[in-house]
Protein backbone atom coordinates (compact mmCIF):
# COMPACT_ATOMS: atom_id res chain seq x y z
CA UNK A 1 0.00 0.00 0.00
CA UNK A 2 1.27 3.40 -0.87
CA UNK A 3 0.83 6.58 1.10
CA UNK A 4 2.07 8.62 3.99
CA UNK A 5 1.58 5.92 6.61
CA UNK A 6 3.52 3.34 4.63
CA UNK A 7 6.68 5.44 4.52
CA UNK A 8 9.50 5.19 7.01
CA UNK A 9 8.94 7.85 9.63
CA UNK A 10 5.64 8.65 7.98
CA UNK A 11 2.33 9.35 9.62
CA UNK A 12 0.73 12.36 11.14
CA UNK A 13 1.33 13.91 14.53
CA UNK A 14 -1.02 12.86 17.33
CA UNK A 15 -3.10 16.07 17.33
CA UNK A 16 -3.56 16.22 13.54
CA UNK A 17 -7.24 16.23 12.55
CA UNK A 18 -7.02 16.08 8.78
CA UNK A 19 -6.54 19.80 8.24
CA UNK A 20 -9.44 20.83 10.49
CA UNK A 21 -8.50 23.29 13.24
CA UNK A 22 -7.19 21.04 16.02
CA UNK A 23 -9.22 20.99 19.24
CA UNK A 24 -6.10 21.89 21.22
CA UNK A 25 -5.81 25.13 19.22
CA UNK A 26 -9.53 25.91 19.21
CA UNK A 27 -9.96 25.86 23.00
CA UNK A 28 -9.02 28.95 25.01
CA UNK A 29 -5.87 28.78 27.03
CA UNK A 30 -6.41 28.16 30.73
CA UNK A 31 -3.94 30.27 32.67
CA UNK A 32 -2.86 29.77 36.26
CA UNK A 33 -4.31 27.06 38.42
CA UNK A 34 -6.93 26.48 41.11
CA UNK A 35 -5.68 25.30 44.47
CA UNK A 36 -8.04 22.47 45.43
CA UNK A 37 -6.69 22.46 48.99
CA UNK A 38 -7.47 26.11 49.70
CA UNK A 39 -9.45 26.66 52.89
CA UNK A 40 -12.64 28.61 52.17
CA UNK A 41 -14.32 30.86 54.73
CA UNK A 42 -17.68 32.56 55.13
CA UNK A 43 -16.69 36.18 55.69
CA UNK A 44 -18.58 38.61 57.93
CA UNK A 45 -17.83 42.29 58.48
CA UNK A 46 -18.35 43.71 61.95
CA UNK A 47 -20.79 46.29 60.58
CA UNK A 48 -23.25 43.38 60.23
CA UNK A 49 -23.20 42.87 64.03
CA UNK A 50 -25.19 46.07 64.63
CA UNK A 51 -28.43 44.01 64.54
CA UNK A 52 -27.50 42.07 67.69
CA UNK A 53 -28.42 43.38 71.17
CA UNK A 54 -25.81 44.52 73.66
CA UNK A 55 -23.76 41.81 75.46
CA UNK A 56 -25.28 39.02 73.36
CA UNK A 57 -23.27 35.98 72.33
CA UNK A 58 -22.78 35.82 68.55
CA UNK A 59 -21.86 32.32 67.32
CA UNK A 60 -21.86 30.93 63.77
CA UNK A 61 -25.27 29.34 64.49
CA UNK A 62 -26.70 32.70 65.62
CA UNK A 63 -25.21 34.39 62.53
CA UNK A 64 -26.81 31.75 60.31
CA UNK A 65 -30.22 32.15 61.98
CA UNK A 66 -30.02 35.94 61.60
CA UNK A 67 -29.10 35.64 57.90
CA UNK A 68 -25.63 37.14 58.26
CA UNK A 69 -24.02 34.03 56.68
CA UNK A 70 -25.59 31.64 54.18
CA UNK A 71 -24.86 28.37 55.92
CA UNK A 72 -22.61 26.46 58.27
CA UNK A 73 -20.70 24.60 55.54
CA UNK A 74 -17.58 26.78 55.82
CA UNK A 75 -15.76 28.20 58.88
CA UNK A 76 -16.49 31.84 59.69
CA UNK A 77 -13.95 34.67 59.47
CA UNK A 78 -14.76 38.09 60.91
CA UNK A 79 -13.34 41.09 59.03
CA UNK A 80 -12.94 44.63 60.34
CA UNK A 81 -14.99 46.71 57.89
CA UNK A 82 -17.41 49.05 59.67
CA UNK A 83 -17.83 50.20 63.24
CA UNK A 84 -19.07 48.38 66.33
CA UNK A 85 -20.71 50.43 69.09
CA UNK A 86 -22.10 47.78 71.46
CA UNK A 87 -20.08 45.16 73.37
CA UNK A 88 -20.60 41.63 72.03
CA UNK A 89 -19.18 38.19 72.71
CA UNK A 90 -18.23 37.04 69.21
CA UNK A 91 -17.24 33.43 68.51
CA UNK A 92 -15.77 32.60 65.11
CA UNK A 93 -13.10 30.42 63.56
CA UNK A 94 -10.83 33.34 62.55
CA UNK A 95 -10.58 37.10 63.15
CA UNK A 96 -8.65 39.72 61.24
CA UNK A 97 -6.44 41.93 63.41
CA UNK A 98 -8.61 44.98 62.78
CA UNK A 99 -11.82 43.10 63.65
CA UNK A 100 -10.38 41.80 66.92
CA UNK A 101 -9.18 45.32 67.83
CA UNK A 102 -12.58 46.92 67.12
CA UNK A 103 -14.54 44.26 69.02
CA UNK A 104 -12.32 44.64 72.08
CA UNK A 105 -12.36 48.46 71.82
CA UNK A 106 -16.18 48.33 72.04
CA UNK A 107 -15.88 46.32 75.27
CA UNK A 108 -16.61 42.90 73.79
CA UNK A 109 -14.58 39.74 73.42
CA UNK A 110 -13.42 37.84 70.34
CA UNK A 111 -13.13 34.08 70.92
CA UNK A 112 -11.68 31.70 68.34
CA UNK A 113 -13.38 28.31 68.06
CA UNK A 114 -12.19 25.10 66.43
Which CATH code for domain 42-112?
Answer: 3.100.10.10
Confidence of residue 30 (pLDDT cuts 50, 70, 90): confident
Greater model confidence, 15 or 42: 42
Q: Where are the alpha helices (DSSP H) in the chain?
A: 23-26, 60-66, 97-105
CB-based burial of residue 96 (10 Å sphere; 0-12 exposed, 13-18 middle, 19+ buried)?
Answer: middle
Q: Where are the domains of the chain?
A: 42-112
Plot region of 9 (φ>0 → left; ψ -120 to 50 → alpha; else → beta): left
Q: From the CB of residue 18, how many other CB atoms can be counted at a distance below 10 Å?
A: 6
pLDDT (0 to 100) of residue 1? 77
Say if residue 54's pLDDT is above 80.
Answer: yes
Query: What gap in Å lies between CA 36 and CA 98, rounded to an integer?
Result: 28
Confidence of residue 40 (pLDDT cuts 50, 70, 90): very high
pLDDT (0 to 100) of residue 10? 87
pLDDT (0 to 100) of residue 87? 96
Amino acid sequence: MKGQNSRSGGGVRPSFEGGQLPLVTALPKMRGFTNNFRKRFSTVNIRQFSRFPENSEVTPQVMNDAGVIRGLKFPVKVLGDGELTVPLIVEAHRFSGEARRKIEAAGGTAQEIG
